[in-house]
């Protein structure tokens, strides 16, 4: 049996005449996820953090909520619901397989 250990992978790509690109991949159950409302300048935020990296999402230009911000929030919500459903399905399938392997 292979052991899948948690990790966070962060990359920075820089090419001439292009904007830098930062990639963050969280492969850990040690991820902290939180959301809230910044009160000093009222705006919502969503935060993903591991020991190695943070991703902070908020409104366009850290300003008032725009129609585009609402669209992105809905996309995040939909993608999160799909991720949850996929995780639940695969977890159930793995539990069934593990129970079958133990019985054999």
Determine contact, residues 35/49, Cβ cutoff 8 Å: no
> pTM, whole model, 2 decimals?
0.80
Better-scored residue on pLDDT, 103 or 66 = 66
- pLDDT exceeds cutoff 70 at 100: yes
* Contact (CB, 8 A) for 11 and 22: yes
Q: Quick one: DSSP state of residue 64?
A: S
pLDDT at 104 over 70: no
**pLDDT of 2-17, one tens digit each?**
588 999 999 999 999 9
What is the Cα–Cα distance from 53 to 11, expressed in whole angstroms? 11
16 by DSSP, 3-state: which? coil
Higher pLDDT, 83 or 1: 83
Predicted confidence band at 1 (pLDDT cuts at 50, 70, 90)? very low
Per-residue pLDDT tens over the stretch 23-67 = 999 999 899 999 999 888 889 999 999 988 999 999 999 899 999
- The strand ranges marked E within the chain are 7-13, 21-27, 32-38, 43-49, 54-58
């Amino acid at each position: 049996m292979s052991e899948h250990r948690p990790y966070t992978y962060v990359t920075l790509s820089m090419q001439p005449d292009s904007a830098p690109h930062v990639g963050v991949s969280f492969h850990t159950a040690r991820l902290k996820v939180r959301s809230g409302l910044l009160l000093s300048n009222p705006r919502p935020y969503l935060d993903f953090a591991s020991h190695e990296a943070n991703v902070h999402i908020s409104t366009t230009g850290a300003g008032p909520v725009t129609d585009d911000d609402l669209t992105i929030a809905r996309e995040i919500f939909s993608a999160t619901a799909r991720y949850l459903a996929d995780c639940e399905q695969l977890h159930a399938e793995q539990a069934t397989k593990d129970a079958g392997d133990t019985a054999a």
